[in-house]
Structure 1
Amino acid sequence: MNILRRVLPLLLCPALAAAPRAFAIEDLYRLKDVAHLALSPDGSKLLFEVSSQDLRRSTRATHVWMADLRGGAVRQLTFAGTSDTWPRWSADGRSFTFLSNREEGSQLWRLDMAGGEAKQVTAFGPGIADPQVVGKTVFFQSTVFPEALADEARNKAMAEKLEKGPVQAHLADGLLYRHWTSYRDFQYTHLFKAPADGGAVTALTSGPRDFPGYDQSYDVAPDGREVCVATPNGPEPARSTNVDLFLIRLDGDRTPLCITGANPAADGAPRYSPDGRWIAYKFQKVPGFESDRFRLGVYDRSAKAFRNLTEALDNPIEAFQWSADGRSLWFTVQEKGRYPLYRVDLPSGQPVRVLDGQSIREFVVAPDQASVLFVRNRVGEASEIWRCRFPGKELAKLTSFNDAVAADQVFGD
């Protein structure tokens, strides 16, 4: 009788039977994550990552997909391995590179858009991260023993000594010997370069110091002759929030030159303008205060002068990008539970809100600045890619990876 009472209403009311059910932990693992947008040089194609998870096997797989912005087709491009990430177009748009763990750890691979199999570009034993291809050179960072740097055999021998030695303990004589679950174990992050068509790896930085620092980044000048890198600066990094930007000339003395030493707080996320004249970056003003808001500034390489572009905005800057002509910067801001999009033109220095009411996690601006593509997600809405066309601000959803989950679930809002 009790069973009949529960089933009968469902038989009499089909709409009630098909009603969305409460969101459960299993449904969380059904969601796909979209990230790392890369727009082709002509603005016609968009590369991005799609990650999926398997709850029972406790695994995660990430592969590269592409959206044809003119025809509307969305298709998967990589299938091998479990981690194909960080897609980046070549300058001519005929191929793209990506990081993959399919062979020899994390290495750079290239896939020709005309077809065929992906080809391995790097084979550096310690593995690589954050690769940038400029001209015929690959720049990347890697965590190595400072005594070994680009010497793969020595790095391998020292790693095996730690792993198989009689003393199995983490040793440290200073703070910042661990970040979350990752121990330093006498290794540091350094910058390297190598020919894009294969060849010897060369270390660009050295010593018992990280270049870049933990959770920091670097950028290469458009002409490939200089690198700007962010790293903690000062005698006690564990007690300070001071991160500075350093310039490293690649055609002469490679001694890092600090350009933000006048600011005792954090400076980071450097990005060269397309013509190489400016370096845009985020910075804080209050030393030791991690919650101080990030502003957006630029450094004029010719005049060696700084400009604060967003002091009037009382919210922290998140992601930012140069326009193709180098005359403006686009950026997102944390604002009342949303992430709206702004633009600031360098000549005027006046930030303007471009797109409101959105939760933009990351974005790319079309070369003609007539549209912007972005990943939107918020409470009650899973990650998908959207496009906004200007000046009418017409919104269109380009992907539907999570529609099936959303159709039969009740998301909180």
Structure 2
Amino acid sequence: MRAFVMGGCMALALGLVAQAGYVNLLSLDLSPDGNLLLFVQMKDVYVKTVGGEDLRQLTDEGGVIWARFAPDGSHFYYIAFQNGHYVVKRGEVDGDTRETVLAEEGVNFFYAVPFPDGKRLVVISDREGQTDLWIYHLEEKAFTRLTNTTGLEATPDVSRDGKNIVFVALWEGMQSWDIHLIRLEGEEVNYDIVTEDPFFDWAPRISPDGKWIAFESTRSGDSEIWVMRTRENGLYLTRITKDSWRNAFPVWSPDMEMLVFGTRRDGEDAWTISVTETY
């Protein structure tokens, strides 16, 4: 069984703004090969080599709040404010093409994450009057609804085999944001509440082997990175970071040996991007 420990954290080379790092970090992702960082800061998308200085700005729209790599690693999906609402767009990492792939009049789309097959997106939308989790089929341009619950959903992630979706929700009657897991088993859709407590849980990411979830949580009093088993593998919580700063947006390396995450010190606007060993 994999053993997780509080590893020593190393700041990645930054060289951007506000001395310590990035301002208003909103999302963070690693390319499928683990070589590139994709992140949103100051409402636009940036990319850089892990540990490198080759920072590039990929969008210049000023209203971006989320970005994720496509499975091919050469494209990315992002959420941008356009014509009064949030839409899903797609861009080239090494090119200038930017296109809108999902937009409806009067409708907002948030937190788009591609499935590994590249044919579907999981997305949160208010297209039926309340925010819910949906699957959008890119070729058919059709939707499959996954939730129909009063409240809010956010920060989904899809497992490498495409069979599990993890997300956080603040539904009616809940004390705080909790982690939920959807299992797609053929035509069946099964739901699990992974955490149910008064703590703030955010931005869960499923490990490449599908057995672990890394996430941000305030269960220790501070906002730290935690790792736990998925419910079918037995709940097993391990605290990865231990400091008084906000640690957020964890991402697994492809080999699961490292976790990359953002850190913001108290009283500072700037974030650093750090990496820690998982065992």
TM-score (norm 2): 0.70
Partner of 1:361: 247
Contact conserved, 2:37 with 2:49, CA < 8 A, in 1?
Answer: yes
Contact conserved, 2:45 with 2:59, CA < 8 A, in 1?
Answer: yes
AA of the residue aligned to 2:81? T
Distance in 2 (CA, whole Å) between partners of 1:327 and 1:122 is 34
CA deviations 1:26-52 (Å, max 9, x no partner) are: xxxxxxxxxxxxxxxxxxx97476775
CA deviations 1:54-93 (Å, max 9, x no partner) are: xxxxxxx7857xxxxxxxxxxxxxxxxx999966544334
1:325 deviates by: 0.9
Partner of 2:153: 267
Alignment of 1:1-400 (within 5 A): 47=12, 53=18, 88-97=29-38, 108=45, 128-134=64-70, 135=72, 136-145=74-83, 187-196=84-93, 197-199=95-97, 201-212=99-110, 217-232=111-126, 235=129, 242-252=130-140, 254-261=141-148, 263-286=149-172, 292-301=175-184, 302=186, 303-311=188-196, 313-335=197-219, 337-339=221-223, 341-348=226-233, 350-355=234-239, 358-359=242-243, 361-362=247-248, 363-365=250-252, 367-369=254-256, 372=259, 375=263, 377=265, 385=274, 387=276, 390=279
Instruction: Say if 1:255 and 1:387 are closer, same or farther in 2 by CA, change over 3 A.
Output: closer
Instruction: Say if 1:84 and 1:296 are closer, same or farther in 2 by CA, change over 3 A.
Output: closer
Distance in 2 (CA, whole Å) between partners of 1:315 and 1:114 is 33
Structure ranking higher in helix proportion: 1
Structure ranking higher in strand proportion: 2
1:206 deviates by: 1.8
1:335 deviates by: 2.7
Q: Secondary structure at the match of 1:347?
A: helix
AA of the residue aligned to 1:229? V
Instruction: Say if 1:191 and 1:377 are closer, same or farther in 2 by CA, change over 3 A.
Output: same
Distance in 1 (CA, whole Å) between partners of 2:69 and 2:219 is 35
Distance in 2 (CA, whole Å) between partners of 1:114 and 1:331 is 23
Distance in 2 (CA, whole Å) between partners of 1:274 and 1:139 is 17
Q: Higher relative CO (CA 8 A, sep ≥ 6), structure 1 or 2?
A: 2
1:370 deviates by: 5.2
Contact conserved, 1:126 with 1:144, CA < 8 A, in 2?
Answer: no
Q: Secondary structure at the match of 2:151?
A: coil
1:244 deviates by: 0.9
Instruction: Say if 1:107 and 1:50 are closer, same or farther in 2 by CA, change over 3 A.
Output: same
AA of the residue aligned to 2:126? P
AA of the residue aligned to 1:250? L
Partner of 1:10: none
Distance in 1 (CA, whole Å) between partners of 2:222 and 2:177 is 16
Runs of 5+ unmatched residues, structure 1: 1-44, 54-60, 65-81, 146-186, 236-241, 391-413
Distance in 2 (CA, whole Å) between partners of 1:120 and 1:256 is 32
CA deviations 1:339-373 (Å, max 9, x no partner) are: 4524023423x322312893552244555555656
Contact conserved, 2:156 with 2:204, CA < 8 A, in 1?
Answer: no
AA of the residue aligned to 2:120? E
Instruction: Say if 1:259 and 1:99 are closer, same or farther in 2 by CA, change over 3 A.
Output: closer
TM-score (norm 1): 0.50
Partner of 1:19: none
Contact conserved, 1:243 with 1:268, CA < 8 A, in 2?
Answer: no
| CA RMSD across the alignment | 4.2
| Pair member with larger Rg | 1
Distance in 1 (CA, whole Å) between partners of 2:81 and 2:209 is 35
Instruction: Say if 1:90 and 1:368 are closer, same or farther in 2 by CA, change over 3 A.
Output: closer
Q: Secondary structure at the match of 2:107?
A: coil
Partner of 1:404: none
